[in-house]
Amino acid sequence: MKRLLLILATGMLLGSCTSKPEWIKNFNSGSALGTTYHITYISKDKLDYQKEIDSVFEVINRSMSTYMPTSDISKINMGDTTVVVDHMFRDVFELSKEIYDRSNGYFDPTVGSLVNAWGFGPGKQIALDSLKVDSILQYVGFDKVGISANNLVTKADANIYFDFNAIAKGYAIDRLALMLENHGITDYLVEVGGEIVAKGENKVKEKQWVVGIDNPEGDDKPKILINLKNTALASSGNYRKFRVDSITGNKFVHTIDPKTGYTKNSNILGASVIANNCAKADGYATALMAMDLEDSKKLLENDPTIEAYIIYSDQQGKTQSFVTKGFTALLLE
């Protein structure tokens, strides 16, 4: 009897050592925030967090969507000074101020009036000349706004127009990641409009998460592939987001220079940033598109919390890249 028990116990021990846990890949996709999303999360049971995902997008829109007339940000933009903003709005506001300061004002969510005027926002597009651009510039500057202890937004001028679209998408991804973690999910890949947060690994394939960076020269194949683990990636580029004037044929890119008020037709083709959260990566990717390359290099040298991959055109028109050391370590051969 003792021998039989010993055999059974040994068999159970061997079985527990040799059998692998069965992992399930759960997947949700759809449209939100004016783009598409794809969310993969690994678990031992079949799960579906679609309702929770929809809820995250709903609260983000209700707080910060300039395309929703009843959102908090829309009410503030229309001059309502009584709106008590939620903690999400405050999170994005405070991070925006930090990036505004560190980028020397090149990341500026009060550029919304210019975004509308150039035809890239929900507001009315207008014909612009130097006088009109200068008149709108007086309403631009994140140093002209504030947020009180009781969560009321203050503006130096009622015409200042907030636009958090260059950072809110990244923040939404962070909130989706937090939702998954609150449900005990430790391995996931959240992608919304090309911005990504990756946690853990793809345990179904027993591999790290691998993502690609778009090629600004129009090739459908990714420019590069990188491994992502416990970090966030955001990219910005002018090679797809632009508007062509139907009368003049002039091309206007979506990046607005908050210093000049004009669209930024620079030699920077694309910028990808890695940071510990996607809102931060999103904001800095936008800032690097508006900054000159040398200023971007200085910013990156002085901030060890972000890594970047910048694609640019040199003086001979050839495509080149600048890559920080931390970003290089993630590149796949």
Domain containing 76 equals 69-94+109-162
Distances in Å between the Cα of 5 and the Cα atoms of 86, 135, 178, 323 are: 62, 88, 46, 61
DSSP 8-state assignment for residue 214: -
Q: Is residue 294 part of a domain?
A: yes
156 and 171 together in one domain: no
87 and 136 inside one domain:
yes
**pLDDT of the residue at 268:** 86
- What pLDDT was estimated at residue 215? 82
Give the pTM: 0.86
Within this chain, do residues 222 and 189 fall inside the same structural domain, yes or no?
A: no
Query: Does any domain span residue 179?
Result: yes
* Per-residue confidence (pLDDT) for residue 262, from 0 to 100: 80
Q: Which two tokens stand for residue 74?
A: 């829309």
Q: 224 with 333, same domain?
A: yes
- Terminal-to-terminal C-alpha distance of the chain: 59
- Enumerate residues 6+ apart whose C-beta is below 8 A from 303: 102
Do 49 and 80 lie in a common domain?
no
The domain total for the chain is 3
Give me the CATH number covering residue 83. Answer: 1.10.3980.10
What are the residue ranges in the chain where pLDDT is below 50?
A: 1-19, 241-253
In this prediction, residue 123 carries a pLDDT of: 61
Do residues 229 and 326 both lie within one domain?
A: yes
Task: Of 98, 119, 123, give the one whose Cα is nearest residue 109.
Answer: 98
Are residue 175 and residue 53 in the same domain, yes or no?
yes
The CATH number assigned to the domain holding 297 equals: 3.10.520.10
129 domain residue, yes or no = yes
Residue 10 lies in a domain: no
Of 277, 52, 260, 317, the closest CA to residue 140 belongs to: 260
**Whether 306 and 215 share a structural domain:** yes
Instruction: Check if the beta carbon of residue 238 is closer than 8 Å to that of residue 255.
Output: yes
Kindly state whether residues 212 and 297 are assigned to the same domain.
yes
Report pLDDT for 220.
73
Asked if residue 253 and residue 169 are part of one domain, the reply reads no
The secondary structure of 104-117 as a DSSP string is TTSS-TTBHHHHHH
Task: Tell whether 45 and 184 lie within a shared domain.
Answer: yes
Number of other CB atoms surrounding residue 12 within 10 Å: 10
In this structure, the answer to whether residues 169 and 235 fall within a common structural domain is: no
